[in-house]
Structure 1
Amino acid sequence: MFKQRGAKKTGLNILIIGCGKVGTALTRQLCKEGHDITVIDKNADKVEMNVNQYDVMGICGNGASYSVLMEAGVENADLVIAVTNSDELNLLCCTIAKQGRDCATVARVRNPDYSKEIKYLKKSLGLTMVINPELETATEVARVLYMPTALEINSFAHGQAEMTKIKIPEHNMLDGLSVAHLGQQLMDRAKNINILICAVERDGEVYIPSGHFKLHAGDVLSFVGSRPMSRAFLDFIGFKTNRVSDAMIVGGGDVAYYLASQLINMGINVKIIEKEKDRCERLSILLPKAVIINADGTDQDVLKEEGLSNAESFVALTGIDEENILLTLHARHVSDAKTITKINRSNFKEIINNLNLGSVFYPSFITAETITAYVRAKSNTRSMNSSVQTLYHMFDFRVEAIEFRVDEASEVTGKPLMDLKLKKDVLIAFINRNGTIITPSGHDTIEVGDTAMVVTTHTGFNDIRDILV
């Protein structure tokens, strides 16, 4: 199955092997950003769906076949991304692709055994990137359980800075407070806590707030700061900042394994409920400090018997989205636990957002964003020294938070921020200078060697200079 694209685009030539959830998420995002995409999958229906929905070419075939790759144009490819359901096939696809052209290659690798050997695999197979959706998801979930009053926490500047999303409750001190007034209170009453409110969602609309913007109960806001500053701010506005002491996890797949490993290292007690006996035996060997229960986690009596009503956190990680949603709704009904829900499909994202599930994680989006950040850095042809370091989409892809690495002087560097002519709805959220996070004022400057994070409703920024009018 094959379809010719429309007009030639100005981006990279990219082959995406695998049209599952991750492959489709990547196709949607990278096509929107102006890249020439060719998708490859053995399943003709999946190829046809992508070809009909997006401006891409599609080939039905084995992505590890040299002839199929040649038909797909691998000799002209800038990047090959292998995200099939098989780790081995992904590695093989990338290896064979490099025989046709010495292009960049990205492989999805999920098996914990392979994940321990990522450095070796990258070096020996010449891979540009190895991405593990389950591990990335587990890491993001662990961050939230460390700060359970947050809906979401994203890491920047190699962990030195965090973007935290919260919902303002009724009668909170933020209700009715302007951003500027809050800033003054943080200076006067809170021992100079430095955070910056970057984006606010209210009644379905997203705002990059100015100082005059007034916050209200029910707003969902994202703020950025160093980890100590973020914790101090949450404490100041009356949010609990202590991590959970225990976690009940339903579903014993790879995400559960990675998450349990991290939580145990943080000193958090872990209980996993998994209905497959063989998997339970495997987990008991891999996680000797966790409590492994062989039972049906969707059974309310099992959850009651295992102490759901007293659990501090509940994480639904089964392979079925509907089960995860119902489990979370039940947990919120019978307990005060911090709830985490893993969702694989994105079809009903708007409806899911209205279900009050607590923190919701989409592994396919997490993977797509990591790869998209790399693609943006690679596609920046204006400067080989200034590129995208980290990228997160916020509020259903309506806002982007982008961390740029600045390795050369430009019209952005060395000037007070107040003198830069920024595009509308662009906010410089922090400057990372040698590991020190600076919450910028108008007098601060971006210098060579810094990284700087930009929050914007624009899309497709590839270079720090894109923030200018």
Structure 2
Amino acid sequence: MKIIILGAGQVGTTLAENLVSEDNDITLIDNKYDRLAFLQDKHDLRVIKGNASSPKILREAGAANADLLVAVTSSDETNIVSCQVAYTLFNTPTKIARIRNAEYLRERDKLFHPDVIPIDHIISPEKLVTDEITRLIDYPGALQVSHFANGKISIVVTKAYYGGPLVGYALSALKDHMPHIDCRVVSILRQGKVIRPQGSTIIEAGDEVTFICETINIKAVMSELQRLEKPYKKIMIIGGGNIGIGVAKALEDQCTVKLIERNAERAAMFAEHLAKTLVFCGDASDESLLFEEHIENIDVFLSLTSDDEANIMSALLAKRLGAKKAMVLIQRMAYINLIQGGTIDNAISPQQATISALLGHIRKGDIATVVSLRHGGAEALEIIIHGESSTSNVVGRKIAELKLPMGVIIGAVLRDGEVLIARKNVIIQEYDHVIVYVSDKKHISEIEKLFQPSAFFI
């Protein structure tokens, strides 16, 4: 696939690194040559220095022959204009743009369609992160929750602790503990090493367990791995940007929410827009303010400013003063593994959420959802099955008969609204939604080929 990526920031760079290893022809455009030179030395891709929305630059990049244009510069306006130019001058078939400004997003149905601004898919990092945070609030104790198949199936990452009924027992005991609930453990991370789970695998305290189940059964499965935490009711949010406001709005009807914003003018504006959230003007590093607002009673402290270091430090302070959980927004990917799992409970990455959303539109075949799982090495895909036994490598075949690469697991199937946790004798049918866990992204191209009907191959 010939792909043009506009913007060599963290998202553009990470996306290019993901796709270049999958036999794609990548051209990366940015106006800063030092970024481009570094990437060209490191990867087999083409780089062009220049304005991403320039017709001349897009022509030089080969927009007329490109299959896909992904606009992820730091400017919404540049991303919008680039898609318009690619459509009008070069008829580029698929155009994806990252849009952050809430005003554009509110009018997306009127603005973004072929007769006005021809963008095929819009990615909003703020909305993606807001949704991720609210899912973590909904499932106390989870480290990551990702929904598939219209929310009917979920992949959950959680930690096993002493007190969980399954801790110290083999995975095969799970069925005895929950005879009426089915789930599949697809990965275990133990002391930094990934273990491929088998029935004889003993769950140990401290294991990071990734499992797939019907969404309504998430809490029941989690209760086997740890003592279920009480619902989160008292939330403190630091930073009143788009994400902070979005999270406050999403939670204020079910939780007591306090929001701290440093800028007095912005704090006053947020107070007008949030009906039930208490808004304070102040500094999250002010111990006296945190004590006054009873930080020791806070269930979740969310530090969501645009400053990674400030988020980390305020979260560490909040935990020391008694907050039960701390979640932080982290822009730099290098920080995530450094801080996650220690004093700070969750590090949330807008980049990782954005990459997942982008990959869902880029992967070959009919792929409804892609999620990058924690630590970035693994991926889960929701693949819609097409074809028949004569044109497909999977239709009409049992899961046991499929030649899956090492570390690739079919976890669940949605068929006619019914969730089937995948077992060896399940036969794949046309129109199934199949949830595939891939432990190593190097196998993605094999998976794409396996699930594509022969008519898709050119």
Q: TM-score, normalised by structure 1?
A: 0.89
Residue matched to 2:418: 436
**Counterparts in 2 of 1:50 and 1:100: CA distance versus 1, 3 Å:** farther
Deviates more, 1:136-145 or 1:290-299: 290-299
Give the one of 233, 241, 244 matched to 2:232. 244
Q: CA RMSD in A?
A: 2.0
Give the one of 333, 354, 366 matched to 2:320. 333
How much has 1:131 moved relative to structure 2?
0.4
Residue matched to 2:255: 268
How much has 1:241 moved relative to structure 2?
5.5
Distance in 2 (CA, whole Å) between partners of 1:321 and 1:425 is: 33
- Contact 2:158/2:222 (8 A) holds in 1: no
- Contact 2:393/2:451 (8 A) holds in 1: no
Work out whether 1:407 is the aligned partner of 2:386.
Answer: yes
Deviates more, 1:303-312 or 1:212-221: 303-312
Give the one of 201, 208, 216 matched to 2:196. 208
Map 1:284-303 onto structure 2 (within 5 A). Answer: 284-303=271-290
Distance in 1 (CA, whole Å) between partners of 2:246 and 2:367 is: 27
3-state DSSP of counterpart to 1:347: helix
Residue matched to 1:355: 342
Percent identity over the alignment?
28
Work out whether 1:235 is the aligned partner of 2:214.
Answer: no
3-state DSSP of counterpart to 1:200: strand
Distance in 1 (CA, whole Å) between partners of 2:451 and 2:68 is: 26
Distance in 1 (CA, whole Å) between partners of 2:293 and 2:281 is: 11
Residue matched to 2:428: 446
- Contact 2:48/2:61 (8 A) holds in 1: yes
How much has 1:355 moved relative to structure 2?
3.4
- Contact 1:134/1:255 (8 A) holds in 2: yes
Deviations 1:291-329 (A, max 9, x none): 111111222222222221111111011111111112222
The amino acid across from 1:286 in the alignment is H
3-state DSSP of counterpart to 1:158: coil
- Contact 2:159/2:225 (8 A) holds in 1: no
How much has 1:215 moved relative to structure 2?
1.1
How much has 1:331 moved relative to structure 2?
2.1
Residue matched to 1:277: 264
Work out whether 1:417 is the aligned partner of 2:399.
Answer: yes
3-state DSSP of counterpart to 1:369: helix
Distance in 1 (CA, whole Å) between partners of 2:132 and 2:417 is: 21
How much has 1:24 moved relative to structure 2?
1.7
Residue matched to 1:4: none
Residue matched to 1:47: 36
Map 1:60-79 onto structure 2 (within 5 A). Answer: 60-79=49-68
The amino acid across from 1:149 in the alignment is G
**Counterparts in 2 of 1:201 and 1:156: CA distance versus 1, 3 Å:** same
Deviations 1:405-446 (A, max 9, x none): 112222322233334343332221110112222112333222
Distance in 2 (CA, whole Å) between partners of 1:336 and 1:292 is: 18
Residue matched to 2:83: 94
The amino acid across from 1:219 in the alignment is D
Residue matched to 1:5: none
3-state DSSP of counterpart to 1:64: coil
The amino acid across from 1:342 in the alignment is L
Residue matched to 1:6: none
How much has 1:238 moved relative to structure 2?
4.7
The amino acid across from 1:359 in the alignment is N
How much has 1:288 moved relative to structure 2?
2.5
Distance in 1 (CA, whole Å) between partners of 2:14 and 2:151 is: 26
Work out whether 1:153 is the aligned partner of 2:145.
Answer: yes
- Contact 2:261/2:283 (8 A) holds in 1: yes
Residue matched to 2:363: 376
- Contact 1:426/1:467 (8 A) holds in 2: no
3-state DSSP of counterpart to 2:359: helix
Residue matched to 2:376: 397
Distance in 2 (CA, whole Å) between partners of 1:198 and 1:333 is: 35
How much has 1:167 moved relative to structure 2?
0.8
Count, aligned residues: 444
- Contact 2:76/2:99 (8 A) holds in 1: yes
Distance in 2 (CA, whole Å) between partners of 1:109 and 1:363 is: 13
Distance in 2 (CA, whole Å) between partners of 1:199 and 1:217 is: 15
The amino acid across from 1:461 in the alignment is I
The amino acid across from 1:440 in the alignment is A
Deviates more, 1:79-88 or 1:130-139: 79-88
- Contact 2:161/2:226 (8 A) holds in 1: no
- Contact 2:372/2:379 (8 A) holds in 1: yes
- Contact 1:412/1:464 (8 A) holds in 2: no
Map 1:1-40 onto structure 2 (within 5 A). Answer: 12-40=1-29
Work out whether 1:136 is the aligned partner of 2:128.
Answer: yes
Distance in 2 (CA, whole Å) between partners of 1:102 and 1:210 is: 50
Residue matched to 1:120: 110
Residue matched to 1:83: 72
Distance in 2 (CA, whole Å) between partners of 1:391 and 1:279 is: 36
Q: TM-score, normalised by structure 2?
A: 0.91
- Contact 1:423/1:467 (8 A) holds in 2: no
How much has 1:156 moved relative to structure 2?
0.8
The amino acid across from 2:286 in the alignment is D
The amino acid across from 1:253 in the alignment is G
Deviations 1:97-146 (A, max 9, x none): 11232221111111111112223333132211100001101100100011
**Counterparts in 2 of 1:465 and 1:55: CA distance versus 1, 3 Å:** closer
Give the one of 158, 174, 199 matched to 2:166. 174
- Contact 2:189/2:209 (8 A) holds in 1: yes
Distance in 2 (CA, whole Å) between partners of 1:467 and 1:395 is: 25
